Amino acid sequence: MNIENIIEKPSLYQKGSSFMWTDPYISKQLLQIHLNPDIDLASRKKPSIEKTVKWILGNWEKNRKLTILDLGCGPGWYTELFANNGHSVTGVDISKNSIDYATQSAKEKELNIHYRNANYLDIDLGEEKFDLVVLIYADLGVVLPIEREKLLVNIFKALKKGGIFIFDVLNDKGFEEKLSPKTWEASKIGFWKATPYLALSESFLYEKEKVILSQHTIIDESDNVDTYRFWTHFFSKDDISRMLKNRYFKNIEFREDILPEGDMWNGKNVIFTKCEK
Ligand SMILES: C[S@@+](CC[C@H](N)C(=O)[O-])C[C@H]1O[C@@H](n2cnc3c(N)ncnc32)[C@H](O)[C@@H]1O
């Protein structure tokens, strides 16, 4: 085991060794977390999701039927609410577990949802196909800047003229203070593995780039080491405007009153953005 690798601050955007969302064991744990309507992890709480969808759909007249793309749709909380309102919905997610669950659920409920198990950074999203594209739960802020640029280009292409892109990111108010303390956990079985492991967690600040890295180093009994790295970017409204205008989006609007005050994520730390092609 290389202890220095654990001690040193990684260079900006240095890759980890492992990817959480597609790991067969971890993605099963994640699905259970998504499906718990009372906690604000993986997916938001049910009332927050319902409120968000109500606001999103309120941007069109009631009877208009929309084509909607949900990127990183998870088990389908938002896609199902959109489809319940009569819209034609496509959901994309990299997690096979979540897509299998969502597909089965839509089938049982006879909902018009087309699911794709794919990486939204790699796939062709098509051209001029959607009235609305959504990317929810601060996911635009966890992709690397180079991937974000490419994704924005692809979303712009996929929207019909006048189509709307809605997403949320974390705001940059006091982001420097949001480092999590160093922790360790020894488990016989837990979130990261079904076998005994030691988890060392730490976060690092990259102030100029407004990024915090959350790093989790998982060591098993045979000294195998998995490193998971999550890069979270924080934005001001100016940062968001600049990023969107660079990619030709217009009519940019911000909302900080969508999520209930009592939630872990609310208007104090989350900015919803609506913009138009
Ligand atoms: C924080 S969860 C949010 C899920 C959903 N939007 C919600 O709010 O309920 C992020 C989701 O994005 C998916 N995801 C992460 N990276 C992805 C990628 N590159 N392509 C497609 N899906 C991805 C994960 O599997 C996960 O379901």
DSSP one-letter string for 107-125: HHHT--EEEEES-TTTS--
Q: What is the mean pLDDT of the chain?
A: 96
Best residue among 35, 93, 113, 154 to mutate for probing ligand 1's pocket (most ligand atoms within 8 Å of CB) is 93
Q: What confidence score (pLDDT) does residue 58 get? A: 97
Mean pLDDT over 44-62 rounds to 95
CA 222 to ligand 1 center in whole angstroms: 31
In a domain, 201, yes or no: yes
Rounded Cα distance between 210 and 15, Å, is: 18
Residue 23 has phi, psi (to 5 degrees) of: -65, 125
CATH number at residue 217: 2.20.25
Q: Are residues 89 and 221 in the same domain?
A: no
195: domain range? 175-232
| Centroid of ligand 1 to alpha carbon of 265 (angstroms) | 17
Indicate whether 47 belongs to any domain: yes
- Alpha-carbon distance of 34 to 17, in angstroms, equals 24
Question: Does the structure show a pLDDT above 90 at 6?
Answer: no
**pLDDT score for 107:** 97
Percent of the chain's residues with pLDDT above 90: 92
User: What spacing in Å lies between the alpha carbon of 233 and ligand 1's midpoint?
Assistant: 16
Q: In this structure, is residue 24 part of a structural domain?
A: no
Are 271 and 143 in a shared domain? yes
Closest ligand 1 atom to 43 CA: 9
Smallest CA separation from ligand 1 atom 4, residue: 74
User: Tell me, what's the pLDDT at 38?
Assistant: 87
Q: At 2, is the pLDDT very low, low, confident or very high (cuts 50, 70, 90)?
A: confident
pLDDT at 1 over 80: no
Encoded amino acid at 223, one letter: D
Dist CA 197 CA 200 (whole Å): 10
Domain membership of residue 14 (yes or no) is no
- Which ligand 1 atom sits closest to the C-alpha of 120? 20
CA angle 114–96–264, rounded 5-degree value: 90
Burial class (CB within 10 angstroms; exposed 0-12, middle 13-18, buried 19+) of 105: middle
Residues 252 and 161 in one domain: yes
Nearest CA to ligand 1 atom 25: 95
Ligand 1 centroid to residue 202 C-alpha, Å: 23
Site to substitute for ligand 1 among 95, 133, 166, most atoms within 8 A of C-beta: 95
Q: Which two tokens stand for residue 101?
A: 């669950």
- Same structural domain, 122 and 250: yes
271 in Cβ contact with 245 (< 8 Å): no
Residues 232-249, mean pLDDT to the nearest whole number: 97
Q: Is the pLDDT of residue 264 over 90?
A: no
Whole-angstrom distance, CA of residue 167 vs CA of residue 37: 21
- pLDDT of 7 higher than 90: no
pLDDT per residue over 34-48, tens digit each?
A: 999 888 899 999 999
Task: Kindly state whether residues 261 and 215 are assigned to the same domain.
Answer: no
> Which pTM value belongs to this model?
0.97
Choose among 51, 114, 47: nearest CA to 80. 114
How many domains, the chain?
Answer: 2
Same domain, 194 and 105: no
